[in-house]
Structure 1
Amino acid sequence: MSTDISDPGHGHSPAAWTAVIVMLAAVTIGTVAFWFAQVWLVWASVALIGVGALLGWILSKAGWGVKGPKYVAKSH
């Protein structure tokens, strides 16, 4: 573990967590849809993965990323 004060946080921000949760839900939905042979839902979940990545980028640019002004790092 790093004890360096300049540690960027490795994505422990609201933007990163939101992106990961949306993409994880998309993968879960896509897996279930694949199991039930719902092709349209598989492709919709693929699109949702892109939405999750875009959402993380937008939130990061809005200041909720690791280096954003709205993000306050928690002490460990």
Structure 2
Amino acid sequence: MAGSSHGHTPAAWTGVIIAFIGFCVAGMFMVMAQPVGFWAGMGLVILGAVVGGIMSAMGMGQPKHTHPVHQTTGDREPARAEG
């Protein structure tokens, strides 16, 4: 989407960075065959989602866009093609 700022917010960056660290930790412990460390890393991934959601709720995320409601009155006739 051209001109969109989707994801370029402090909430998004913080959540993604925490989740990325969690994936790295989980991957490292998976290679080392340490299940507790793997699940700790997965906990960090979930923490990243929670932190990002909280920051977004605090106003540090993408602003909510309201779409105007278009009302039709029925006063106009449909356009006719001349030919």
TM range (shorter): 0.7 to 0.9
Aligned residue identity for 1:25: I
Task: Give the structure with the larger helix fraction.
Answer: 1
Q: Secondary structure at the match of 1:11?
A: coil
Once residues 35 and 2 of structure 1 are traced to their aligned partners in structure 2, the CA distance between those partners, rounded to angstroms, is 40
AA aligned to 1:45 is: G
Does residue 1:59 correspond to 2:55, yes or no?
A: yes
Structure 1: give runs of 5+ residues left out of the alignment. Answer: 69-76
**Residue identity matched to 1:55:** V
**Equivalents in 2 of 1:42, 1:11: separation in Å?**
27
SS state at 1:62 partner: helix
- 1:21 aligned onto 2:17: yes
Cα RMSD after superposing both structures:
1.5
Q: How many residues align?
A: 64
CA separation in 1, counterparts of 2:41 and 2:25? Answer: 6
| Fraction of identical pairs, as percent | 36
- Segments of 5+ residues of structure 2 without an aligned counterpart are 65-83
Larger radius of gyration: 2
Aligned to 1:18, the other structure's residue is in SS state helix
Q: How far apart are 1:66 and its partner, in Å?
A: 1.6
RCO comparison, higher one (Cα < 8 Å, 6+) = 1
